[in-house]
Amino acid sequence: MRRLAALLFLATLIACTPKVVEEIAAPDEPPPPPPPPVNQAGLSPCQNWNGLRNQEELMTAHVLYKDNLRLISAYEEKEDFEMAAPLVSEAFAQWKKVFDQAPAADGRRPDHFQDGIYFFDRFYLESEDNGKKQIYVDSIKTLYLQMAECYGDEGFVYGSMGYDFYYRYEGSMDEKEIYNIYKRSMDAYGDKPSDFVIPPFTALLVNGVVNEEIPSDEARKYVERIQMGLEKGIAGCEEKGTCLDWQTINEDVGTRLGYLESVKGFYDQDYYKKKYLFQDLNFQDCDQLSSVIGRLRWGGCSLDDPDLKPLIDAYKNNCYKASEPAVTCRSLLQDGDPKGAADCYLEKAEATSDAEKQAQFYLVVAKIYYGEIKRYSLARQYALKAAKAKQNWGDPYMLIGKLYASSGPLCGPGRGWDSQIVTWPAIDMWTKAKKVDPSVTAEANQLINRYAQFMPAIEQIFQRGYEVGQNFKIPCWIQTTTVIRAGK
pLDDT score for 17: 38
The total number of structural domains in the chain stands at 2
| 46 part of a folded domain | no
| 204 part of a folded domain | yes
User: If you average pLDDT over residues 69-94, what whole number do you get?
Assistant: 91
Q: State the residue range of the domain holding 150.
A: 55-262
| 437 part of a folded domain | yes
Range in 122-136, 310-324, 365-379 the model is least confident about: 310-324
Last-in-domain residue among 220, 245, 262: 262
pLDDT score for 327: 59
pLDDT, tens digit (0-9, with 9 covering 90-100), for 254-290: 888 998 998 889 999 999 999 988 767 888 888 888 8
pLDDT at 13 over 80: no
The model carries a pTM of: 0.76
257 shares a domain with 399:
no
Range in 2-16, 415-429, 452-466 the model is least confident about: 2-16
pLDDT score for 115: 94
User: If you average pLDDT over residues 24-47, what whole number do you get?
Assistant: 55
Beta carbons of 345 and 361 less than 8 angstroms apart = yes
| 303 part of a folded domain | no
pLDDT score for 278: 77
| 6 part of a folded domain | no
pLDDT score for 10: 36
Q: Which of 19-23, 315-319, 422-426 has the highest mean pLDDT?
A: 422-426
pLDDT, tens digit (0-9, with 9 covering 90-100), for 159-174: 999 999 998 888 889 9
User: If you average pLDDT over residues 103-114, what whole number do you get?
Assistant: 92
pLDDT, tens digit (0-9, with 9 covering 90-100), for 300-324: 999 889 999 889 888 888 886 654 5
Percent of the chain with pLDDT over 90: 59
62 shares a domain with 210:
yes
| 358 part of a folded domain | no
pLDDT score for 417: 83
246 shares a domain with 100:
yes
pLDDT at 3 over 50: no
| 292 part of a folded domain | no
| 239 part of a folded domain | yes
pLDDT score for 40: 56
Beta carbons of 160 and 194 less than 8 angstroms apart = no
The CATH number for 198's domain is: 1.25.40
Last-in-domain residue among 262, 288, 305: 262
pLDDT, tens digit (0-9, with 9 covering 90-100), for 229-250: 999 989 888 888 888 888 888 8
Name the average pLDDT for the chain.
86
Last-in-domain residue among 207, 239, 262: 262
User: If you average pLDDT over residues 148-158, what whole number do you get?
Assistant: 92
pLDDT at 216 over 90: yes
